[in-house]
């Protein structure tokens, strides 16, 4: 089976749909043990050129986005959900319309099953409260420092 991209999947009896918010606990985390993401897609199958099997979900981890952009994004998301009832988001849209989200793009393994626990859908009326409340979980400054130190090393000649 070649690689397939899904805009909807079911995981732990929760139906994940593109453009909706979810939170869960992720076992093999680096910094964020309980991400809050906007689900983009799921990738499943075997890469025909390498033979590697892929079973993962892609999403934008909003804990890596500054609070100001989170607030603006949630307002835009709510307007579009009221108008059309869906919010399609792809990598091209992130690059064009939300460039500050590129560093927050994350992929999470679906298998083994214990990697993703306590998956929870964030309903429309609780999005403001859940997405923008996390004062203690703001990793956006950490990413900015990492990319700034990379450019500093690059232009200062130290590698």
Encode pLDDT of 20-52 as tens digits. Answer: 999 999 999 888 899 999 999 999 999 999 999
By C-alpha distance, which of 106, 112, 122, 138 is closest to 23? 122
Encode pLDDT of 6-16 as tens digits. Answer: 999 999 899 99
Under the banding of pLDDT at 50, 70 and 90, the label for residue 143 is low
- Between the CA of residue 117 and those of 35, 91, 106, what are the distances in Å? 11, 26, 17
Q: Which residue has the tokens 């075997």?
A: 46
Q: Encoding tokens for residue 48?
A: 């025909």
**What pLDDT does 90 receive?**
85
Encode pLDDT of 76-128 as tens digits. Answer: 999 998 998 888 888 888 889 888 888 899 999 999 999 999 999 999 999 98
- Between the CA of residue 141 and those of 89, 104, 135, 144, 157, what are the distances in Å? 24, 12, 12, 5, 24
Instruction: Determine the Cα–Cα distance for residues 71 and 128; give it in Å rounded to an integer.
Output: 8
Which comes out higher in pLDDT, residue 146 or 71? Answer: 71
Phi, psi (deg, nearest 5) at residue 105: -70, 125
Is 133 a residue whose pLDDT tops 80? no
3-state secondary structure of 48: coil
E strand map for 33-139: 36-46, 53-61, 105-109, 116-121
């Amino acid at each position: 089976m070649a690689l397939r991209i899904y805009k909807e999947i079911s995981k732990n009896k929760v139906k994940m749909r593109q453009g909706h918010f979810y939170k869960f606990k992720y076992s093999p985390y680096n910094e964020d043990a309980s991400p809050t993401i906007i689900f983009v897609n799921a990738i499943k199958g075997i890469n025909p050129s390498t033979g590697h099997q892929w079973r993962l979900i892609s999403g934008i981890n909003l804990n890596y986005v500054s609070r100001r952009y989170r607030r603006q994004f949630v307002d835009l998301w709510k307007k579009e959900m009221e108008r059309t009832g869906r919010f399609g988001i792809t990598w091209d849209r992130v690059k064009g319309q939300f460039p500050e989200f590129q560093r927050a793009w994350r992929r999470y393994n679906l298998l083994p099953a214990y990697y993703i626990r306590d998956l929870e859908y964030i309903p429309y009326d609780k999005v403001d409260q859940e997405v923008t409340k996390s004062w203690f979980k703001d990793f956006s400054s950490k990413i900015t420092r990492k990319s700034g130190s990379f450019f500093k090393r690059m232009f200062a000649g130290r590698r």
